[in-house]
Amino acid sequence: MMFSHTANRQRFDPASPLINDLMEMFGEDVTTSAAVCERHGTDESFHLPHSPDVVVFARSTEQVSQIVKLCAKYRAPVIAYGTGTSLEGHVAALYGGVCVDLSKMKTVVKVNQEDLDCTVQAGVTRKQLNEYLRDTGLFFAVDPGADASIGGMASTRASGTNAVRYGTMRETVISLKVVLPDGRVIETARRGRKSAAGYDLTRLFVGSEGTLGIITEVTLRLFGIPEAIASAVCSFPTIDDAVNSVILSIQSGIPVARIELLDEITMRGINSFSKTDYPVAQTLFYEFHGSEAGVEEQSRQAQEIAAEFGGGNFQWETLPEDRTRLWQARHDALYAMNALRPGSKPMVTDVCVPISRLAECIQATKQDHEGSSITAPIAGHVGDGNFHVVYLVDPNDEMEIKEAADLHERLVMRALAMDGTCTGEHGIGYGKIEFLNAELGEGVAIMRDIKRALDPDNIMNPGKILQM
């Protein structure tokens, strides 16, 4: 795991031709303020921030194209910025350069109700979109917890609590508008739900983390708001019991919308932080969507399976405000974890394994932690084999940081040995580059070939995903 990065940087000072040209073109939307630059080089990860030399607030695809053309002219690094909620150092300006802030691009361009899709600018956030859609009877399903920008979610191939039923950004994105490294603008696909027309350019850019181009518009699948929704919490004697209950529920074909695992350490933090009184035990959070009869049937089946594995009584929440409170407690789990050790900084990571190996992977990870001095809560979107570990470390204690890094490496290599992945939804950034090499081998060389073909000067978010 990388926590810092040292690179030879060509600084673009305020008097440089690049910044002069940007200021002439975009005026007050350009800043070299140290405070603004520092904020734009920082995300929510443990990795050290790196500030860009200048921040430009773009308001349209055309403006992004103009900015990128200037960066290409001066061979300046260019990094896209949405809300700064990424977890692997994605926005760190490792080589300085220009940060393109897309937060002012917040227009919902079009909603096609009959086709169950919409097109939005990259700066629209998931909460903003769902608020806009509320009266249409439709919703955007991908829910990573953070109120991330849609462009950022597409760039990092984000996922979240609803993925087990509705899929991830990989399945949700229909097409993209992208500014290429030379400033050209392309649309990767039309709105048709299926196509056999050439290379799948949409999938190429989803998850590319700004290294191949800047996403400026996203066309997304939408879903109908369910007639009935029910949420529940159930505790289990052991991690194995909870996970095996999930596996059997999935294998039995129960269309659970959300199924989240929180270990006993996490539950202790949630009770304290969110003022809840759940049992301090291995716990599953469930949510069921559908018709009244369908939700009732799904709920009955899930309860029967949970009982087979020692699950306690389901604590049901059906009122919207109560369900919101329950899932807010889940979304606030990172803050709750961090509060378990005041003064610590969370080192957050995730892996994903085939669901048949999930219980084994989590149990082995918990055993590693038992021999460690570090508090390491676990939570996960276990319906698709994805879970997170949060190492709570003293940021000033080098020995603790090394211990956490060693534990993290063991976790990732264990997941890879189980035919899993080093990241289910956080992405690579600059924090997991070495693990990507271990996971895909010669496949990484092909990625480099694609990167060189599209971005020969390596100006698009350099130092992320690939070592060039």
- pLDDT tens digits, residue range 73-99? 999 999 999 999 999 999 999 999 999
Class of domain 342-429 (CATH, top level)? alpha beta
Residue 223 and residue 353: Cα distance in Å, rounded? Answer: 27
SS3 string, the chain, reads: CCCCCCCCCCCCCCCCHHHHHHHHHHHHHEECCHHHHHHHCCCCCCCCCCCCCEEEECCCHHHHHHHHHHHHHHCCCEEEECCCCCCCCCCCCCCCCEEEECCCCCCEEEEECCCCEEEEECCCEHHHHHHHHHHHCEECCCCCCCCCEHHHHHHCCCCCCCHHHHCCHHHHEEEEEEECCCCCEEECCCCCCCCCCCCCHHHHHCCCCCCCCEEEEEEEECEECCCEEEEEEEEECCHHHHHHHHHHHHHCCCCCCEEEEECHHHHHHHHHHHCCCCCCCEEEEEEEEECHHHHHHHHHHHHHHHHHCCCCCCEEECCHHHHHHHHHHHHCHHHHHHHCCCCCEEEEEEEECCHHHHHHHHHHHHHHHHCCCCECCEEEEHHHCEEEEEEEECCCCHHHHHHHHHHHHHHHHHHHHCCCECCCCCCCCCCCHHHHHHHHCHHHHHHHHHHHHHCCCCCECCCCCCCC
Share of the chain above pLDDT 90, in %: 87
The predicted structure's pLDDT at residue 8: 54
Residue 349 and residue 139: Cα distance in Å, rounded? Answer: 28
Contacts 24+ apart (CB under 8 A), 27-30: 29/56, 29/57, 29/58, 29/59, 29/104, 30/54, 30/55, 30/56, 30/57
Q: Which of 419, 368, 412 is nearest to 388 (CA)?
A: 412
Give per-residue pLDDT as tens, 18-66.
999 999 999 999 999 999 999 999 999 999 999 999 999 999 999 999 9
Q: Where do the structural domains in the chain lie, given as residue ranges?
A: 108-224, 228-334, 342-429
Q: Which CATH number fits domain 228-334: 3.40.50.2000, 3.90.1150.10, 3.30.70.2190, 3.60.150.10?
A: 3.30.70.2190
Q: What is the pLDDT along the chain (468 residues), one digit of tens a residue?
A: 434 444 555 678 888 999 999 999 999 999 999 999 999 999 999 999 999 999 999 999 999 999 999 999 999 999 999 999 999 999 999 999 999 999 999 999 999 999 999 999 999 999 999 999 999 999 999 999 889 999 999 999 999 888 999 999 999 999 999 999 999 999 999 999 889 999 999 999 999 999 999 999 999 999 999 999 999 999 999 999 999 999 999 989 999 999 999 999 999 999 999 999 999 999 999 999 999 999 999 999 999 999 999 998 899 988 889 898 889 999 899 899 999 999 999 999 999 999 989 999 999 999 999 989 899 999 988 889 999 999 999 999 999 999 999 999 999 999 999 999 999 999 999 999 999 999 999 999 999 999 999 999 999 999 999 988
Residue 82 and residue 95: Cα distance in Å, rounded? Answer: 19
Class of domain 108-224 (CATH, top level)? alpha beta
Q: Do domains 228-334 and 342-429 have the same CATH topology?
A: yes
The order of strands in the sheet holding 214-221 is: 108-112, 117-121, 214-221, 173-179, 185-187
